[in-house]
Amino acid sequence: MCRHLGWLGEPVSVASLVLEPANSLVVQSYSPRRQKHGLMNADGWGVGFFDGGVARRWRSATPMWGDASLASVAPALRSGCIVAAVRSASIGMPIEATAAAPFTDGDWLLSHNGLVDRAVLPLSATAESTNDSALLAALIFDRGLDSLGHTIAEVAAADPDARLNILAGNGSRLLATTWGDTLSVLHRPDGVVLASEPYDDHPGWEEIPDRHLVDATRSRVQLVALKGI
């Protein structure tokens, strides 16, 4: 239902990840190549990055391809940890900037690619919106990111049809899950990229198997199989 991307490494511009590659997020907003559900991602976008340890965000409810300000400012925004996403809203979900990833608890930036029945998620006063992704993010923040794998398995047990691809960064670490949708990794000399689908045709992209937890730093990427409850 969405596409997302995470970067951890040497500081790079937002534009170099989100706008400039041949199959960048802006292209994936109208013509994704590997998306299993939905045809485009025109219901908003968000870019989050760490600035001196502070999580900062820029989010919109409009299509990424139509935002001239992003194209103007993104080359000047640089960070060693970036989480960005384009959104395809599920039926009945609000289309508003606060419903677009990345969500944050102040320490982590988090995106959800997928779908989950809101009835299995607890109501939360800290959720940034009423859509499923915002409620799921609030639950994950409440449980703690070190419990991400268990939280995803628990939600999946409550909603067997849920798709629960999570991508989160805290400035020194990227965490992700594959549960029902695609995720690929690219090791670069200056860092590591996790993305719903490759942003170019570099032969180094590797697909992450389904139902796995990914724990990445700048120097290593670890995979752990996720099991249902």
Q: What is the pLDDT of residue 42?
A: 85
Q: Is the pLDDT of residue 1 over 70?
A: no
Can you give the pTM of this predicted structure?
0.96
Number of CB atoms found within 10 A of residue 39's CB: 10
Got the DSSP string for 105-139?
SSS-EEEEEEE--GGGSPP-TT-SSSSHHHHHHHH
How many angstroms separate the CA atoms of 57 and 109, rounded? 9
Catalytic member of 1, 2, 186, 192? 2
Is 81 assigned a catalytic role?
Answer: no
Q: Is the pLDDT of residue 229 over 80?
A: no
How many angstroms separate the CA atoms of 147 and 104, rounded? 16
- The amino acid that residue 178 corresponds to is T
**Structural domains of the chain, with CATH:** 2-225 (3.60.20.10)
Q: What is the pLDDT of residue 123?
A: 92
Q: What is the pLDDT of residue 37?
A: 78
Q: Is the pLDDT of residue 60 over 80?
A: yes
